């Protein structure tokens, strides 16, 4: 049931004419009682942050995490659009306040789509009026909301999990321009747990670092990244398993984003173990995951460990290569910094050849220096990505 899985959450997705041709392109997620409850958000770190990001940051700060909902549009990023873009983003929030009540600062706004193109302001108010007519708490409402934030996504990304006395739901979009910090993606997470704004923000920040900040498709950071958490406070204050269930939902959505990579055919699970510390392991994992050469090897089903070690060396200049090993699909192809293919049995070779055609490729690098482990998700890169992005898209 996506974002409407928790109690006290309502949603809608409508066609406002931003994309044209009757496609769903305006989405709302908020509280069923229409009142103010706890919320939190994490935004892109880009200096080119879009107008909706700037407006939402200001709103979140001014209300100290007390929100009524979030309005999301797709088809136009409203990024790098000057004063007109700021006016459009503010109009999105004001239209929600006019139609749904409260102060416009109690609403966050998000947009995704083409960068640098004027936002069609005349579609906002009529679109919000349709949102009001369509709001619901059922699974259909949640699904339409998830579909309305898609751009090049091939499917609506939704997830849910149940904890002790609470539920968590979520929806996300993203298929390219994905790289920390964060990844082009929008995400709304919902819960019926009772949370203080402080706990909501702390939990969301921790979860984003473990999930959305550890995925990369093309190494390109977005102007519009936003992850929002809304807590309807229908239930009691949850125990420590709340953060675990929130992490579970975010991890499912993060994986769905990478699995839907533009032009991609495989998910790469880059796992670095044996680091002196998490920072070191993460630098190595990110270097491998962002490497175009490693991505090309994945596309070609080639366990080319040399490209992997080249990225490790670039990320960690002080590393001793004679301590490093690499395995593809659980089979070690490099040991102590040199080729280990000669040590493989015929059965191992056949297994590796077969499993390199799997939908998911696991690349594990052992730095041989400590106990720190980090995993980053990536995707291969294929002709479809080039076709999609060689023009304005």
Indicate if the pLDDT at residue 390 is higher than 90: no
Annotated binding-site residue? 184: yes
Active site residues: 184
**Residues paired with 366 in a beta bridge:** 273, 325
CATH 3.10.20.340 fits 267-389, yes or no: yes
Cis peptide before 18 (omega within 30 of 0): no
Mean pLDDT of the chain: 92
Between 46 and 64, residue with greater pLDDT: 64
pLDDT band of residue 48 (cuts 50, 70, 90) is confident
Question: Distance between CA 208 and CA 206 in Å, rounded?
Answer: 6
**Please, are residues 240 and 313 in contact by the beta-carbon 8 Å criterion?**
no
Contacts 24+ apart (CB under 8 A), 336-341: 337/309, 339/305
Cis peptide before 204 (omega within 30 of 0): no
Indicate if the pLDDT at residue 319 is higher than 50: yes
Q: For the chain, what are the domain ranges? A: 2-259, 267-389
Q: Which CATH architecture has domain 2-259?
A: 4-Layer Sandwich (3.60)
pLDDT of residue 68: 98
> What's the chain's Rg over C-alpha atoms?
22
pLDDT of residue 185: 78
Instruction: For residue range 245-258, list pLDDT tens digits in order.
Output: 999 999 999 999 99
Could you give the dihedral angle defined by the CA atoms of residues 177, 179, 184 and 185, in that order, rounded to the nearest 10 degrees? 140
Give the helix/strand (H/E) hosting 27.
strand 26-31
pLDDT of residue 183: 44
pLDDT of residue 176: 52
- What is the dihedral sign for C-alpha 296, 300, 306, 309? positive
Instruction: For residue range 179-227, list pLDDT tens digits in order.
Output: 555 545 799 999 999 999 999 999 999 999 999 989 987 666 667 889 9
pLDDT of residue 389: 60
pLDDT of residue 152: 81
Average pLDDT over residues 334-349: 93
Annotated binding-site residue? 262: yes
Annotated binding-site residue? 190: no
Instruction: For residue range 260-318, list pLDDT tens digits in order.
Output: 877 678 999 999 999 999 999 999 999 999 999 999 999 999 999 999 999 999 999 99
pLDDT of residue 180: 55
pLDDT of residue 205: 94
% of the chain exceeding 90 in pLDDT: 82
Average pLDDT over residues 231-260: 95
Indicate if the pLDDT at residue 100 is higher than 60: yes
Global pTM value = 0.92
């Amino acid at each position: 049931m996506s974002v409407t899985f928790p109690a006290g959450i309502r949603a809608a997705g409508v066609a406002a004419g931003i994309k044209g041709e009757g496609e769903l392109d305006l989405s709302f997620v908020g509280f069923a009682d229409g009142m103010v409850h706890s919320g939190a958000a994490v935004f892109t770190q880009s200096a080119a942050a879009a107008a909706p990001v700037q407006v939402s940051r200001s709103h979140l700060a001014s209300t100290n995490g007390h929100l009524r909902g979030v309005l999301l549009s797709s088809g136009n990023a409203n990024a790098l659009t000057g004063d007109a873009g700021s006016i459009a983003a503010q109009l999105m929030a004001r239209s929600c306040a006019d139609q749904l009540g409260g102060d416009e600062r109690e609403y966050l706004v998000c947009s995704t789509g083409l960068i640098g193109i004027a936002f069609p302001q005349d579609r906002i108010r009529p679109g919000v009026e349709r949102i009001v007519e369509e709001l619901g708490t059922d699974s259909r409402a949640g699904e339409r909301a998830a579909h309305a934030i898609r751009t090049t996504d091939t499917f609506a990304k939704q997830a849910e999990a149940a904890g002790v006395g609470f539920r968590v739901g979520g929806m996300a979009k993203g298929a390219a321009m994905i790289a920390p910090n964060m990844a082009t993606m929008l995400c709304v997470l919902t819960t019926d747990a009772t949370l203080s704004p402080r706990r909501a923000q702390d939990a969301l920040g921790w979860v984003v670092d473990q999930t959305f900040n550890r995925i990369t498709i093309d190494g390109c950071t977005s102007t519009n990244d936003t992850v929002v958490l809304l807590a309807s406070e229908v239930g009691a204050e949850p125990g420590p398993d709340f953060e675990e269930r929130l992490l579970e939902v975010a991890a499912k959505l993060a994986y769905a984003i990478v699995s839907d990579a533009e032009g991609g055919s495989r998910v790469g699970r880059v796992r670095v173990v044996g680091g002196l510390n998490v920072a070191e392991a993460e630098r190595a994992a990110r270097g491998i995951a962002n490497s175009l050469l490693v991505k090309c090897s994945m596309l070609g089903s080639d366990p080319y460990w040399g490209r992997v070690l080249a990225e490790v060396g670039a990320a960690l200049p002080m590393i001793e290569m004679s301590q490093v090993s690499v395995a593809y699909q659980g089979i070690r192809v490099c040991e102590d910094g040199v080729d280990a293919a000669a040590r493989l049995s015929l059965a191992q070779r056949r297994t590796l050849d077969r499993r390199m055609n799997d939908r998911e490729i696991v690349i594990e690098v052992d730095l041989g220096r400590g106990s720190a482990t980090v995993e980053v998700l990536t995707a291969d890169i294929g002709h479809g990505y080039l076709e999609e992005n060689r023009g304005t898209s």
